[in-house]
Amino acid sequence: MVKFIVIRHGHSVSNKEKTYTGQLDVALSSEGIDQAKSLAEYLYENYKVDSVYSSNLIRAKHTADFVAEKFGLPVIIEEDLKEMYCGKWEGLTAEQAEALYPEDFLDWQTNLEDGRCTDGEWMSEIKSRAVRAIKKIAEENDGKTVVIVSHGCVIRALQGEWLGISYRELKEMPWVTNASITRVCYEQGKWSVLQTGYDGYLGNMRTEMPKLI
């Protein structure tokens, strides 16, 4: 069995600006740095961690660095954990995306199965690479506890795999917040979800997702 602690990166500069980030390489905000430090402390006090993996994007890597340093471990980069490519929406606010691409925006808001950001990745593409990545990590870490630092859309796509639910059902699930903790186990090809999007340890450092993202 492999125990996964899946983290969404800390609050980023573009989260602060409420823009679609996608694969733009932006830094953590000052709030995100504080979140990452608290995350590392919380994990160190509550879990034994054997490996730390991260998306190659700096906001995830920087979050992972704090955790890895606390446990005396390296950060292993896995590019398939990077965020969804948002195409022409990258760097835009939701209001700007809606004004420029109203049909695509409506599809994205109402139908994850057939909607996507204009010229961006489909959710099925994100799920395919994210599942490939996490299963490869599982093969490399049998019997271990692994931290993975990734992104909101990637974790959302993985939730569909873990729970065996459709994209339409995913629409009803809340997005995981910055620096939140989702715990899952993988054993003999089956997933068990133990905890989803826990951020209570952050106290007044919690940050919320913008409503339309």
Contacts (Cβ under 8 Å, ≥6 apart) of 109: 115, 212
Catalytic residue (choose from 78, 83, 90, 121): 83
What secondary structure, in 3-state letters, does the chain show? Answer: CEEEEEEECCCEHHHHHCECCCCCCCCECHHHHHHHHHHHHHHHHHCCCCEEEECCCHHHHHHHHHHHHHHCCCEEECHHHCCCCCHHHCCCEHHHHHHHCHHHHHHHHHCCCCCCCCCCCCHHHHHHHHHHHHHHHHHHCCCCEEEEEECHHHHHHHHHHHHCCCHHHHCCCCCCCCCCEEEEEEECCEEEEEEEEECHHHHHHCCCCCCCC
Is 83 among the catalytic positions? yes
Active site residues: 9, 83
